[in-house]
Structures are given as structure tokens and as C-alpha cells.
Chain A
Amino acid sequence: MPKIIYVDINGARRECNVANGVSVMEGAIANGIAGILAICGGSCACSTCHTYIDPEWMDRVGAASDIEDSTLELAYDRKPNSRLSCQIEVTDKLDGLVVHVAQNDG
């Protein structure tokens, strides 16, 4: 199972095993990562699963789709490495991925 490393808003780092095929958001929810709210349940409608991808991983994670790019407009403090974690599917290729949770509350 690929490992995803979540860094929450307080800087706490957690290594979690996340199954192939589920989203980085679902991995965060299952592991109780603070700050990922995901109120639309992964429908790319709310932006409350906003994360920053560790720069080293940007190439492997790839770019956001049009719909994700639009939804990111709602995110607070969008940056070039912003991604909605519900739109990133976990695969072996992403083993070791580091994502930083953005400010999703408020």
C-alpha cells in the first residue's frame, strides 16, 4: 500500500498507508488528518479538501483538471502547488507523496 505523508496545519507530520484507488482526501479522512473537511464528499464542489503538494512531487501528481482548477478558485490562499486532495487518486507512483493541508476552516 502506498504511503502518503500528510503535514497538517499545525505542522504535524503523519505517514499513512492509503489503498490504491482511493483519493488522497479519503486517506486523510480515514486517518483523521486535521483540517481536511471534504464536505462535498469528493464531488469537486467545495474546495474544503485543499492541500499544497510538496514541490518535489508536483510533476508526478500532475495538473488539475478544468473543473478542479475552477473549484480551487474558492480555496483560501491558493498557490501554484494547490490541489484538491479529493481529485488525486492514490497509486503506487505516489508512494511517499508529501501533501500539506491548507487552511480549510472558516
Chain B
Amino acid sequence: MTGKAPIIVIGAGQSGQQICDSLRKGGYEGHLMLLGDEASLPYQRPPLSKKFLTGTLEAERLLLRPASYYEQQKIDVHLNARVDSIDRAACRLRLRSGEALAYSGLALATGTRIRPLTVPGAADANIHYVRSLADGERLAAALKNARRVAVIGGGFIGLEVAAIAREQGREVVLIEAFERLMARAVAPQVSAFYAELHRGHGVEVLLGTGVDAIRTVAGEHTVVTSTGAEYTVDLIVAGIGVVPNSELAEAAGLACRNGIVVDDCARTSDPLIVAAGDCTWHMNGFLQREIRLESVQNAVDQAKSAAASLLGQSSVYCQVPWFWSDQYDIKLQIAGIGMPHDQAVLRGDVSSGAFSVCYFRDGVLVGVDSLNKPAEHMAARKLLAQGTPLSAAQAGDTSVDLMQLARGA
């Protein structure tokens, strides 16, 4: 891959930035282009549903790297540059501006986009979503003037927004279609804890409740739920999931299945093209199954494999997944992937607000959720990475020190 054409990375997000960084660290000295359709240099998204909404964190502090970094690393960044198509036979891509660019290697790090709410009236309700910096800025400003907020969707992002809105003194109703919160990610005990946590902070939490319609009159929105109840609010935030940005790859004839299909080295079926981050349906070396993950860990670690593949090396993506969520003064930390599991073992006392839940499948530890138990989270990451055996009995016994076990002591 020493031809004159550059290596091009599409998507200037967490994964795209990491691919560029790893290419340079891996010794690639040729022309390197990073194309992104947003207006900002790559930034962190996690604070957008957390501290950023309080207005105390300037946008500049979200940048993953300052502008000078891209100059020093000779990364040719093009912002507001959307790639419209890829011609694999000709090794060229076309930008929305009409410009065509040749590549010698290509990385797709296109991430995901929000899934919009489509119920009747949704289009007129000025609904807020949180994916981009622009979304975060818009929501932070709107929250300042809001009195009553409806949050639709009880996943991580919806719950984080609900917590911030409550902390700012807004009235909040949270509407979740499933019978429990964060149902795709955590065990019922954890969901129940969070429902109580939010209720304790004054959020009206509606479970097993859909949204049937929204009526907007004079800037006030009335959310009509599936139970027939109506909530009139001045701000609606929806967090009902995302869809992978895989259309570009699909149109270029690359296999896509709930994301761009890649192997455990982040390679697509085209030897010149890799993909990483939220947009991939990938073979996960650690989990030993195909999955799509939406996390900083996945964006960064998979990007490293993708960069290695572009340099003709093979570096299997085989890292323990981890994730976090901040709500009020509770830090949830997730190690591994607890879903699906056949046994969930509680470790510690739920009422203390600091406990873990250990997930087992066929008797093997597959994931641990820790709430205000950072030591147990870090121990879990080590245990999972090393494959240190842990029995369900040990997991539930707080006299067994997980960190000692992880250290092999």
C-alpha cells in the first residue's frame, strides 16, 4: 500500500481518529485523509448526555485532540465533507461536493445515527435527540428554559438526560415501552434499582408504556401514551436507539447485516477496505461471536485492528468490552457483555446503592455490572481478560475479594 493515492478514513469520530493515530504509530508515512461530514474535529460523545448538558463544559474540551495534533501528524482532515459513494473497482470515492478522490486503502468509521420517533405528530414536535455536538448544544440551551420535560426511551442516554434535567430542577416524565429500564443491557435487579433511583429523584417513570401520538399547540407538546394518559410538556427528548451508517458500504457492494460486516481483524470482504466502531457488525475475538457494539472501547480497540489490517498486519480484535453510564451520583460500569445469560448473581446489598451483578452463561462468567463499585468493575475486567474461573457461589460471596482473585493472589 505504498501507492501515491492516500489512505482515506471516512468518518471523523472516535474510531476514525483512532484509526489515523494507529496508522501513524504503525509507521504509515504516506498521505492520510480523514473525511467527516460534521463541522467539528473528532470529539467525545459520552459527555453529551452527561456533564455537557449542564452548560459547564465548553465544546472545545470535548475535542479528542486539538487542531495542532492533526497538523503534527500530517492528517489531512476535511470537515463538512460527506462521502456519497465508493467505486471499489476504480478505488475512488465521491464527495457530496462532487469531488472524486482516489484511495490506496479505505477505512469506514461512519458510526450510527439516531432512530427518529415516527408516531403521529412527531415531526411537528421539535423533538430533541442526542447524537452530535450540535444536538448537545441545542438540547443544553433548550433545557435551560424548559419547565416540563418528557424523555422517551429508558436506555442509557434517555436516563442520563432525565437525571441531568432533574438535577436542574425540571419536572421529568420518562416513558419506556419495555417493562423495565435498560432492558437490552442489564438484569432486572439493575433495572429495578434505576427505576427506584429516578423515582426517588422525582422523575415520573412509566414502564411498559408506549407513545401513541404527540400534539403540538403553541409550543406546548402533549404526549399521548399507549395507556391513554396525556402529558403536556415544553420539551421532548427521545433516545430510542440508533441505526448503523452502513448504506455507503452496502451501495458499494460490501456485505451489511445490522452494520458493515467485518472479520475479527476489522476487514471487509474487500482487501483494501476495513471498518471499525459503531457501524460494524463484527466477529468479536473476545466474545467469539458476531455483534455490533456501541461504545468508546469498541470504537478505539477495533480501530487499532483496522489500522493494522490496512498496514498488512493482522491484529485480532479481542478485548473485553466495557462501558459506563453516569446518573445522579451513581456510576454504572459494565464489564463484558452480560446478555444473554442464564444466571445473574447479586453481589452485595442493593439498598446500599453500591453492588454488582455477575452474569453467567453455562457456568462461565460473561459480564459484570457494577454500581459505585469501581474495584469490582476493574477486577471483573481483569478476570474476564484472563479467563480466570469464577463460580457463581464466589461471585455472590462478598468475602471473596475479586481483585485478589484477579491478581492471582
What is the interface of chain A, defined by CB distance below 8 A to chain B? Answer: 22, 26, 29-30, 32, 39-41, 43-45, 66-67, 69-71, 73-74, 105
Contact = CB atoms under 8 A, between A and B. Distances in A.
Contact of B68 (A32, A43, A45): A32
A62 to B, nearest CB: 18
Interface stretch (B188-196, B281-289, B371-379): B371-379
12 contacts: A22-B61, A29-B64, A29-B66, A30-B66, A32-B72, A40-B46, A41-B47, A43-B324, A45-B322, A70-B377, A73-B378, A73-B403
B198 interface: no
Nearest to A66: B374
Contact of A67 (B25, B44, B65, B374): B374
Nearest to A39: B300
Contacts of B267: none
Chain B interface, DSSP helix/strand/loop, else mixed: helix
Contacts of A71: 374, 378
Interface string B116-158: 0000000000000000000000000000000000000000000
Contacts of A74: 378, 381-382
Contacts of B322: 45
A73 B382 CA distance: 9
Contacts of A39: 18, 296-297, 300
Residue from B66, B68, B374, B403 having most chain A Cβ neighbours under 10 A = B374
Given A67-B331, A67-B374, A71-B378, A40 B66 contact: no
B209 interface: no
A54 to B, nearest CB: 25
Interface of B: 18, 25, 44, 46-47, 61-62, 64-66, 68-69, 72, 296-297, 300, 322, 324, 326, 331, 333, 374-375, 377-379, 381-382, 403, 406
B331 A73 contact: no
A105 B22 CA distance: 10
A30 B63 CA distance: 9
Contacts of B382: 73-74
B64 A32 contact: no
Contacts of A29: 64-66
Nearest to A41: B44
Given A26-B61, A43-B324, A67-B374, A73 B379 contact: yes
Nearest to A45: B324
Given A30-B66, A45-B322, A40 B296 contact: yes
A43 B324 CA distance: 9
A44 B377 CA distance: 12
A32 B18 CA distance: 15
Contacts of A43: 46, 324, 326
A84 B43 CA distance: 21
Contact of B64 (A41, A66, A70, A105): A41
Nearest to B299: A39
Residue from A30, A32, A71, A73 having most chain B Cβ neighbours under 10 A = A73
Contacts of B18: 39
A45 B321 CA distance: 12
A74 B300 CA distance: 16
A105 to B, nearest CB: 7
Contacts of B378: 70-71, 73-74
Given A32-B68, A32-B69, A73-B379, 11 more contacts: A29-B65, A32-B66, A40-B324, A41-B62, A43-B324, A66-B374, A70-B375, A70-B377, A73-B375, A73-B378, A74-B378
A66 B47 contact: no
Contacts of B403: 73
A95 B65 CA distance: 24
B66 A105 contact: no
